[in-house]
Structure 1
Amino acid sequence: MADKTPERLEWAAATLAPGPADHILEVGCGHGVLLSLLAERLTTGTITAIDRSDKMVAAARARNAGHIASGKIAIRQAELASADFSGKTFDRILAVNVNVFWLKPARELAALRRLIDAEGKLFLFFEPPSPAQAEPIAEKLAANLEANGFRVAHKTFIVLGSAQGVCIVANPA
């Protein structure tokens, strides 16, 4: 029996809505479930994924071996703030439940400013432990983004079972 895809990841894939030729960066790819969902939507586009955990990188690589072999996905162990992408930029950048963005993200957001295409979009998804935390987290995210070179395009809230999901979409300012 196949594992059920978490609702938050189905929502993230639908919200990101990548074009077939998009170049995507996922920060904190975990087990690589979302990578699989996104890769199915690409034809000539690619996904680069990073995670700071060797264990998560190994799991994501195992789950996405076919997409890696085809060249559609590349996964590496790296910290966002110090990762080297050799001048590459991305059309869409996303992160799901990566807490640094609502804490003290200056270094990480500076890295994303260098990595996002001038017309690119940044998607930050969260599923807070309590629905009551959704709005405060969204406000903190928006303030952090605005203070670090991004313009918030919109905030989306969604009920995910007994939880609430938050997505902040931002563009380079």
Structure 2
Amino acid sequence: MLAADLPDGAFDLVVAVHVGAFWRPPAAEFAVVRRVLAPGGRVLLVDQPLQPGQARAKADRVAGLAAPHRLAVTAVHTGDTPPRPSIAVELRA
């Protein structure tokens, strides 16, 4: 199924694991996510930072990329997941 075929507001939760397109510009995929997200829905982006201590910088970068699409970071979760720490950034409309 193509992104254009997804109905507007159809999803309560969108999860992306290790999808680099959400972590670096231009992050145009946020427009699709915002369109298909139901009112009150959540987005969860999961990744493993390359270096320990990168979680805050990665979350701030996502916040800046998502803001033009009316998505805001509501929580940042980190975990000790060898071989590198992991991060999950939660966003809401």
User: Structures share a fold, TM > 0.5?
Assistant: yes
Provide closer, same or farther for how the CA distance between residues 88 and 150 of structure 1 changes in structure 2, counting only shifts above 3 A: closer
Q: Residue 140 of structure 1: SS of its match in structure 2?
A: helix
Partner residue, 1:118: 39
Unaligned runs of 5+ in 1: 1-75
Q: Percent identity?
A: 26
Provide closer, same or farther for how the CA distance between residues 154 and 123 of structure 1 changes in structure 2, counting only shifts above 3 A: same
Partner residue, 1:145: 66
Partner residue, 1:15: none
Give a deviation string over 1:99-137, Cα, whole Å, max 9, x none: 111212442111111100001110001112322433322
Q: Which residue identity does 2:89 align to in structure 1?
A: I
1:18-57 correspondence to structure 2 within 5 Å: none
Unaligned runs of 5+ in 2: none
Partner residue, 2:49: 128
Q: Which residue identity does 1:165 align to in structure 2?
A: S
Higher relative contact order (Cα pairs below 8 Å, separated by 6+ residues): 2
- Larger gyration radius, structure 1 or structure 2: 1
Q: Which residue identity does 2:30 align to in structure 1?
A: L
Greater fraction of residues in helix:
1
Residues matched between the structures, number: 93
TM-score, normalised relative to structure 2: 0.84
TM-score, normalised relative to structure 1: 0.48
Provide closer, same or farther for how the CA distance between residues 118 and 88 of structure 1 changes in structure 2, counting only shifts above 3 A: closer
1:101 to 22, 31, 35: 22
Q: Point out 4+ residue stretches in structure 1 off by more than 4 angstroms.
A: none
